Structure formats: structure tokens, C-alpha cells
Amino acid sequence: MKYKKSGNAYVILLEKGDRIIERLTQFCTKEKINSGHLSGIGGVAKVEVAYYGILDKKYHPRVFDKPPYEVVSLKGNVSISEGKIKIHAHITLSDSQFRAFGGHLNEATVFPMCEIIFRPLKDKLERKKDAETGLMFLDI
């Protein structure tokens, strides 16, 4: 992972083999960032996405490991959940047949790179559990 500050944002380059959620968590910890917004593009070799079943209140994960996959869109935010940095991101991917798919990003291994623009927010954002859905909502 490489990054540099540009105005009030950061430009982050994740390299082959980097794990997106893991590296973004490390970045936020190192820079003492507890809230922000991110967007990115690039490629991944292996990815685990999930769909949240609102009726059973569970995430249903699925692993895709037949690359290459192009990251058409990576969007998310950073907050504090149960005292820890939480990267909440969704990803849209395309395959070699130009089919698109995506969902909640559990984790993805970068191949060959992923470019992310990260904008910290001024106020600390925290999450709390919503009793009706079982999800951790931003507490605003």
C-alpha cells in the first residue's frame, strides 16, 4: 500500500496481494482517522461479497475466485463500531464476459492494483445496532 495526502483527501494505491478491507483499516489506524468516505476502481483476483437477508437478519457470503475481476465501483464509509474502526463498503465487479455483480464487501485481494480516493470527515461517526433489522446503523 502506498498513499499520499492531496488537499483534504488521500490518494491510496493498493498493490497486488493487498487485502482491501485489511489495508484500509491499517491506513485509518495509522492516520488516526475514525470517519470518512471512500471510492475506488481497479482489479481483484479473489473477492468475498455478501447479501444481507432482511428476513433472517444474516449476511449470506459468496466467494468469487476465478479472476480477473474488474472493480467497476468501490464505495464506502469509515466509522467506529463497538470501539473499532469499521470499513463499510460495497463493490461492483465485472468479469471477462462483461457481467456485473456485487454486494457488501467482506474482503478482496487486489490484482493488479486498486486506486482509492479517501476523504476524512471532521466529526467522529459511530454505529449502533438497529433492533428491527439487526444492522449497525450510523448514529447521527
The answer to whether residue 86 sits within a structural domain is yes
Residue 136's pLDDT is what?
A: 95
Q: What's the total number of domains in the chain?
A: 1
Residues 57 and 140: their CA atoms lie apart, in Å, by 22
**Share of residues in the chain with pLDDT > 90 (%):** 98
| Model confidence, pTM | 0.95
Residues 3 and 116: their CA atoms lie apart, in Å, by 9
Residue range of the domain that includes 116: 2-123
pLDDT digits (tens, 9 = 90+) for 66-96: 988 999 999 999 999 999 999 999 999 999 9
Residue 67's pLDDT is what?
A: 86
Residues 57 and 134 sit within 8 Å (Cβ to Cβ): yes
The answer to whether residue 82 sits within a structural domain is yes
The answer to whether residue 136 sits within a structural domain is no
pLDDT digits (tens, 9 = 90+) for 25-38: 999 999 999 999 99
CATH of the domain at 75: 3.30.1330.80
Residues 34 and 40 sit within 8 Å (Cβ to Cβ): no
Residue 102's pLDDT is what?
A: 97
Residues 46 and 64 sit within 8 Å (Cβ to Cβ): yes
